[in-house]
Amino acid sequence: APSPRHRRCRTQRRAMVFSVKVESSASVAGKTLSLVVAYAGVGDKISVVEGAAGPTVTLDAGADGALEGLATCSKYIACLTGDETLKAQLVGTTPADEAMIHEWLARACLDYSGPAVDTSRSLESLNAHLATRSFVATHGAVSLADIVLYASTHASLAALPADTKTELIHLIRWCDHVGAVVQQNGKRVFGVVPFARGELLDLKPPTEDRKEKERAGPASQGGTGGKDMETKGDAQGDAKGKGAAKGDAGKDAAKGGDAAKPDDDAIAAARAAKKAAKELEKKDKPKKEPIAKKEVTVDVLDIRVGTITKAWEHPGADKLWVETIDVGESKERQVVSGLRAFKTGEQMIGARVLVLCNVKPGPLRDEMSQGMVMCASNDDHSLVDFVVPPVGAVNGERVSFVGFEGEPVETLVPKKKMFEACAPKLKTNETGVAEYDGVPFMTTKGPCVSALTNCFIK
């Protein structure tokens, strides 16, 4: 059963401002609480003030009594938000989520802070925990446990030598993502943890298009063929003309007329005049300007916010998941995704994702697929993670791109390679924000992000 303190999180509170006291606003505790206040959007209800005796954090919650400790005060502050969806994200909705968040809040304060902590062992353990996860306690979004643990470990991570950071790549990836998502006034409160990032691929198109050259070849040959056909046509016309002349002459002879046989020189002159007239007509006829091909841009893609409601192993392929996804339509879509090597069933079910909805439906290993889950992937495809919509974005909302206002095509025809034309410009930036040619994937609640930075989106 929920504790009395946890039950108080769910009750209505009076509109009054409480103060949480810290030793210094520049301390880790002070920065952490300021970050929680900003992310929960409760700056009108809570103020962080200096004056605490030592490192102890205290909060006078009025009728709810006096609270003490970073984890307890952070949880109380998160529960003050008026956004129920955000509250559920921060403190959990199910008993399992609530228990995991409580556990990791406790670990953040006991195992990852303080002078007596074995930093190297704790960080290695956390790195192993994050090897198959995007977040420490829950799936799909940043929780309160991520924020507090991020604040507790940031200084230790930043101080590590470069080679050690490379060994702790899962922990570094998580820290970089949480820092990008949880900001105060558009800035990272704890700064960026520097680490070596891979070089960007050179994706310039080839200078010569072989297919275009091959298509041009038959066309140039066809021009000579056209002349041959024209000459042949003239010859056939002449033959018909001769036949008609003979017929008329025969009729005239039968009638006893005096019709004369056509003069060969006159016939040749008539042919030459006809040919000259055709050539003159061709010269005078204006040449048609080649129709410029319209550039394929991202607004042809129908990308929508969705939630995975079910997921099961593909019966005929050990690398595929089959899932049903709610994208705001009357019926959920079935999608087949190659994510078995990267996501567990628990990580799939309930995950908030982006779905490319106008791919051509078709079977993948005998299972119908009606869309594609958008994921970020590193160069060697050893790391793959979802591109996640922001909290509050509703299922079915179409992702937009500033400056690209066209309507998506009904179906992406594979032969036209529309998605392939957009793919080289789809990637995450250095903070994990998904972009097309530098323009963010936007919803009415903000940009979409991934835990993987500087990676292409497929």
Sole residue written with tokens 């509170």? 13
Helix (H, G, I), strand (E, B) or coil at 208: coil
- Record the tokens describing residue 308, joined without a space: 């995975």
Span 18-34, mean pLDDT?
Answer: 88
Helix (H, G, I), strand (E, B) or coil at 83: coil
The answer to which of 41-45, 194-198, 224-228, 408-412 has the lowest mean pLDDT is 224-228
Q: Is 289 left (phi over 0), alpha (psi -120 to 50) or beta?
A: beta
Sheet holding 303-313, edge to edge: 333-337, 321-326, 303-313, 352-356, 372-373
Contacts of 311 (CB under 8 A, 6+ apart): 321, 322, 323, 324, 345, 348, 349
What was the pLDDT predicted at 349?
96
Inter-residue contact 80 to 45 (CB < 8 Å): yes
- Summarised one tens digit per residue, pLDDT across range 248-285 is 544 444 444 444 556 777 788 888 888 888 887 776 66
- Rounded distance between C-alpha atoms, residue 362 and residue 339, angstroms: 18
Does the pLDDT at position 430 exceed 90? yes
Name the pTM for this structure: 0.44
- Rounded distance between C-alpha atoms, residue 431 and residue 436, angstroms: 14
- Rounded distance between C-alpha atoms, residue 376 and residue 428, angstroms: 7
- Record the tokens describing residue 60, joined without a space: 């006078």
What was the pLDDT predicted at 211?
61
* For the chain, percent of residues with pLDDT exceeding 70: 78
Sheet holding 58-60, edge to edge: 46-50, 18-22, 58-60, 66-68
